[in-house]
């Protein structure tokens, strides 16, 4: 199992990295199986949040009006993250969104290694019908009490990742090197059945 990693999730005003803004950033720092620290900040996007996004996330203009802007949030987030591995659900979205903003506002790049629980789910359970976070929570009987809020999504993503690590461990995929090799090797899958783990 990974010794140290950070589970990361963001909420945004939409799906376009260049056209939309971050409204919330959260992360959990995990050592072994234990959560050792938390990071959670609302972000003032300096634009109106679309009604459909508010309906989805519960984050509205009033909630973020007095929040810090992303250029003030990102240095604190990077300090929290350090050099830990980033774990996220649909990690490409979160990672690229953060990297774009870090480059834009801080003239840096996000260089941490990353692991995606969507990719892991597909590697472990190729026949799974949906890898949405809500679907995987249903499959594995994990309750997400405040779905589409960053910290709540971090907690359930971590629960999924711990389950996936335990499964991989039982199949000889036990450390950072072997986990990244498993994820990065095209065609390498375990072909497990979800019902055996629920």
Phi, psi of 114 (to 5 degrees): -135, 150
Rounded Cα–Cα distance for residues 120 and 131 (Å): 10
CATH number at residue 109: 3.30.420.10
Q: What is the pLDDT of residues 68-100, one digit of tens each?
A: 999 999 999 999 999 999 999 999 999 999 999
Q: pLDDT tier at 197 (50, 70, 90 boundaries)?
A: confident
Please pick, among 89, 148, 169, 171, the residue that the annotation labels catalytic: 148
pLDDT given at position 1 = 85
Q: State yes or no: is 148 an active-site residue.
A: yes
pLDDT given at position 198 = 64
List, edge to edge, every strand of the sheet that includes 4-12.
Answer: 34-42, 22-31, 4-12, 85-88, 114-116
Range of 21's domain?
Answer: 4-197
Mean predicted confidence (pLDDT) in 151-179: 96
Q: What is the mean pLDDT of the chain?
A: 96
Q: What is the pLDDT of residues 4-27, one digit of tens each?
A: 999 999 999 999 999 999 999 999
- Domains in the chain: how many in total? 1
């Amino acid at each position: 199992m990974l010794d140290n990693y950070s589970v990361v999730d963001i909420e945004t005003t939409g799906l376009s990295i260049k056209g939309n803004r971050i409204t919330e950033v959260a992360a959990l720092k995990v050592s072994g199986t234990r959560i050792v620290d938390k990071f959670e900040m609302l972000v003032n996007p300096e634009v109106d949040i679309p009604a459909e996004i508010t309906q989805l996330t519960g984050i509205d203009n009033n909630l973020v009006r007095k929040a810090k802007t992303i250029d003030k949030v990102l240095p604190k987030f990077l300090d929290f993250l350090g050099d830990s591995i980033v774990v996220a659900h649909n990690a490409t979205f979160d990672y690229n969104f953060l990297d774009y903003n870090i480059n834009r506002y801080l003239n840096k790049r996000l260089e941490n290694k990353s692991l995606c629980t969507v990719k892991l789910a597909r590697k472990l359970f190729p026949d799974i019908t949906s890898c949405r976070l809500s679907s995987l929570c249903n499959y594995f009987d994990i309750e997400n009490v405040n779905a589409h809020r960053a910290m709540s999504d971090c907690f359930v993503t971590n629960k999924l990742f711990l389950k996936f690590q335990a499964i991989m461990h039982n199949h000889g995929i036990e450390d950072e090197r072997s986990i990244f090799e498993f994820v990065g090797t095209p065609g390498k899958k375990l072909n497990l059945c979800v019902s055996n783990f629920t």
